[in-house]
Chains A and B, each alone.
Chain A
């Protein structure tokens, strides 16, 4: 029976995230954005609040709360601080990926520690200077040795690269063309030969770090291989499909916060309040974000039930991130000069939300996914 409201346990997780966002994230968000750096304490507190393994089984130290609860929680944290939220999203997905693809040893070695915050956070190392949207262009290599593997190559735009305690790394293990020769490795952050780059200067998400990661004769044991050799691409796709739900939830939170702030500002300003264009801008933003929320929840719900959700995740991501960006822009517009002032979070929202249309699959990649699905549905024969 159709019902869009969260059940009790989902609502409870959202409430935990909401109070964490209010008490921990919100008071620090503006300063964090200005000073930059990695939000250590925010993430340590996230671990204590049980927000680093929301969709991870309780037996492995997670909450076992499901994907819908995860999505709701991410939206709540993103309302207050999108920068901390992205680190949180990625770490949750790393824990999920290790849970899903790891063997017993790998799971017990890493997942409980990720959930407890003992590894700070997890990170994904997929993109490269020459391979963003197209992972088939990847060059990082893993060569088999007597003692395991040696990783060699460069990764780019690694969220939490400065501090992550565990990296999920994709590398070529054979010369098979395209994505077939790619494997996945679990590399602890303190592994010799894993070299962290300096944080990039970004337009937004300034309170999260993004770095290059170089692998210079980086030796790992045989137990570092996650899943089967040569089967790294499906791992990446699973991580990205799930990741898209997270990023869409993140963008949604940023957009909702911007519209709320703008509505409050406008409601208190008789001159603006009476302007029909201001009302229109906010009405459109609110409508689109409500639709976005439903698309995100649908994708989360499908994933939670174990049903295919790639198409729905892409739809949720492209629609939500683009409409959230539009919403932030409208919020700034509706507030005028105040909207550009640091004193209001909407200018930060506008800067923060831009990248959601890029990472974990650009809008264009989502449209490719969606249109390929259309081809499958409509091409005869």
Chain B
């Protein structure tokens, strides 16, 4: 039992805090308002080594651990949740599967530039008719000599408009269900890969997503990640890691909303006293503080399990479920504490509220997390 951070983690945390407060937070509202992709922040994150935190130094990454990643994600997301998810996708959904499933050649070719931040990645799993039900994939890769020919459509692909490299999950044997799924690493500028219009979203507006169309895209078999038929496993193990990142993003959003509400409640006066001196508000803030701590410890536990090399499907599902739901509740109450001011974009909490919603949806909805958790409970 030990809850202290080591020197490396402390150091990274200090560095990221400073970056987030000085460079990210001041422009977060404008990025949101303008739906602008923060290319300059992504470049800075690359310089700071935040795009491949857990990737070994030999492969262009920072060689830190999962907790360091979680700490960084919370800080960045507290400043700007959009910037947080751009970072999360590159780390968890692209670098992670390449580290885990890629062969040496693939790592050298694809992982190194992604981890160094020279290239940006995206992860392509969802489809117009296959979101939570990932086994219902319709995108197909048909073997043709040394290549695969890929056709189909992927939906809501975060970093889609900017990505250089993508991890694609699709069918190689449609009749075999989830056993017929394979994973590929894709050059997003390759022939037959087309990007759709940027999605118009409720929140995380500075992170762009779009549809990706595969029009008979020809991809060498050397770009297959793992064996044929292993794609579902690749996807699920990737999401086990991704969920830790999204939990940390949700924590960041929750913390930002809580801090804004607590500061506001200590300043603003109503009925002759500070807002926080009204018991109902004080208790609301106490619950926010409590639940954020609970969600953070669950997130750290999942990170610790991953670091110890244990399977952490259950821990990841739990932290993602709680952190995302806490973020939504906290952001909602943060608006309530701000009253009318909470509803206007002059204050940050309406952005936090809009940004929080997606954390209950992507990388497995809350309902999917509950299915996962219940399956562990009811194994009998």
Contact = CB atoms under 8 A, between A and B. Distances in A.
Contacts of A286: 318, 373, 376-377
B377 A283 contact: yes
Interface stretch (B55-63, B186-194, B280-288, B340-348): B280-288
Interface in B233-291: 259, 262-263, 265-267, 274, 276, 282-283, 285-287, 289-291
Contact of B295 (A3, A291, A370): A291
B85 to A, nearest CB: 23
Interface string A272-284: 0100000110111
Interface of B: 1-6, 67, 259, 262-263, 265-267, 274, 276, 282-283, 285-287, 289-291, 293-295, 297-298, 300-301, 303-304, 307, 318, 321-322, 369-371, 373-374, 376-380
Nearest to B66: A2
A330 to B, nearest CB: 12
A378 B263 contact: yes
Max count, chain A CB within 10 A of own CB: residue among B1, B2, B263, B369: B1
A1 B294 contact: no
Contacts of A332: none
B2 A2 contact: yes
Contacts of A264: 380
Which 10 pairs show the lowest CB-CB distances between chains A and B? Answer: A267-B380, A279-B374, A294-B297, A371-B282, A370-B286, A283-B373, A291-B294, A367-B286, A283-B370, A378-B262
B378 A4 contact: no
A68 B303 CA distance: 21
B377 A263 contact: yes
A378 B285 CA distance: 11
B370 A4 contact: no
Contacts of B286: 318, 366-368, 370-371, 374
A373 B283 CA distance: 12
A177 interface: no
A101 interface: no
Interface in A54-77: 68
Given A2-B3, A268-B380, A287-B321, A295 B263 contact: no
A319 interface: yes
Contact of A279 (B262, B301, B307, B370): B370
Interface stretch (A5-13, A152-160, A183-191, A195-203): A5-13
A295 B297 contact: yes
16 contacts: A2-B300, A2-B303, A2-B304, A4-B1, A267-B377, A267-B380, A279-B371, A279-B374, A279-B377, A283-B369, A286-B318, A302-B3, A315-B290, A315-B293, A318-B290, A371-B282
Interface of A: 1-7, 10, 68, 259, 263-264, 266-268, 273, 279-280, 282-284, 286-288, 290-292, 294-295, 297-298, 301-302, 312, 315, 318-319, 364, 366-368, 370-371, 373-375, 377-380
A282 B276 contact: no
Max count, chain B CB within 10 A of own CB: residue among A282, A318, A371, A380: A371
B378 A273 contact: yes
Given A295-B297, A371-B276, A377 B303 contact: no
A218 B287 CA distance: 43
Given A5-B1, A301-B3, A371-B276, A290 B318 contact: yes
Q: What secondary structure prevails in chain A residues at the interface with B?
A: helix
B380 A1 contact: no
A298 B379 contact: no
Given A4-B304, A371-B276, A68 B298 contact: no
A371 B285 contact: yes
Given A2-B67, A263-B377, A378-B262, A315 B4 contact: no
Contacts of A280: 370, 374
Given A301-B1, A371-B283, A374-B262, 20 more contacts: A4-B304, A6-B1, A68-B1, A266-B378, A267-B379, A268-B380, A273-B378, A279-B377, A280-B370, A282-B377, A283-B370, A283-B373, A283-B374, A286-B376, A290-B318, A291-B294, A291-B322, A295-B293, A319-B291, A379-B276
A367 to B, nearest CB: 4
B347 to A, nearest CB: 15
Nearest to A262: B377
B282 A294 contact: no
B282 A367 contact: yes
Nearest to A379: B266
B380 A291 contact: no
A288 B298 CA distance: 9
A47 to B, nearest CB: 26
Contacts of A259: 377
A364 B380 CA distance: 38
B5 A2 contact: yes
A371 B282 CA distance: 5
A291 B297 CA distance: 7
B1 A380 contact: no
Contacts of A273: 378
B370 A284 contact: yes
